[in-house]
Amino acid sequence: MLRLTALACLALAFVACTPRDRNTWHPAPPGGVSKAREPRPDEPAPRRHAIVFAPVAIGELAKTWPGAAESFAYDLADRIDVLGAKADADGLAAPGLPTSDDAAWRAWPVEGTRGADLVVLTVVQSITLREEAVGSQGVAKVIATVLVEMRALDTFGNVVFAKRGRGDWEGYPSPKFPGPEAKPQTRTTWEACSNAVGALLDFLEKRNEAVSEGPAPTAEQLIEVEIASDPPGADVLIDGIFRGNTPCTLKLPARRLPIRLERPGYTPWERVTIPDPGMKIRPALDKIGG
């Protein structure tokens, strides 16, 4: 009997690990293809676009379920796999990448992202729980609200998608399901993440339709912008991502972009602009206190 039980557990573990192994991102070697993107003999060829999810920055949820950071990344990748056929998108989770709110994402490129078409960062911004009157079973009703922010970075580190997702839940926690996955804050966080990834899917589908009607965008279609400052040596942040120090020349997409310059001892300078050919940005930074 014990042997049969052990065999059953082993079989369940194998089944549980196989999909996760298939959906795990492996960075591409220089000039090569990611192992996660290689065709398997028992499966169809991977979809064209590799959408890679970094571990979710779960905020207060870490107190009750630290494993949610990685688990949510796999769940989001699964959503892309299940619903991303029209977008030709392959969802992959990257547990080896920095957490979505890590300071490493302020610079580009980030090690481990080579070969990904989009890298998705998901940050839980707030979790609000409120208890109301105790019900007939002696359990207090819980009202939960969660806000998350999801951003997608292209191969140049540009933020090409940004969306906030909201999750709402109210009800009576069941004592029959005491695990962290069933807690109100977890369920509500997943709803917020799910709403955000739904918007990402819409974006991917529309982008795929646009590309199919014309030539695919290339690096040459980006616009060179010269960015300097007085004094020089300021950090340049594009869409919140560190891209270098002044003076520098960056290739940026022709869309509305927040450009921010930061230098110790000086007031940060920020503008939202649409890059044009030949654009030069050269602000004079104001010294703090004089």
CATH class (in words) of the domain with range 44-212: alpha beta
> Where along the chain do its domains lie?
44-212, 219-281
Q: What are the tens digits of pLDDT across the range 206-246?
A: 887 765 544 544 444 788 999 999 999 998 988 878 888 89
pLDDT of residue 201: 93
DSSP string, 57-99: B-GGGGGT-TTHHHHHHHHHHHHHHHH-TTTTEEEEE-TTSPP
Q: What are the tens digits of pLDDT across the range 22-75?
A: 889 999 998 888 888 888 777 777 788 999 999 999 999 999 999 999 999 999
Q: What are the tens digits of pLDDT across the range 122-151?
A: 999 999 999 887 766 667 889 999 999 999
Number of residues that this document lists for the chain: 290
- The values of phi and psi at residue 288, to 5°, are -70, 130
Percent of the chain residues topping a pLDDT of 70 = 88
pLDDT of residue 137: 64
Whole-angstrom Cα distance, residue 156 to residue 41? 32
pTM: 0.71
What DSSP element (H or E) covers 210?
helix 184-212
Whole-angstrom Cα distance, residue 48 to residue 80? 13
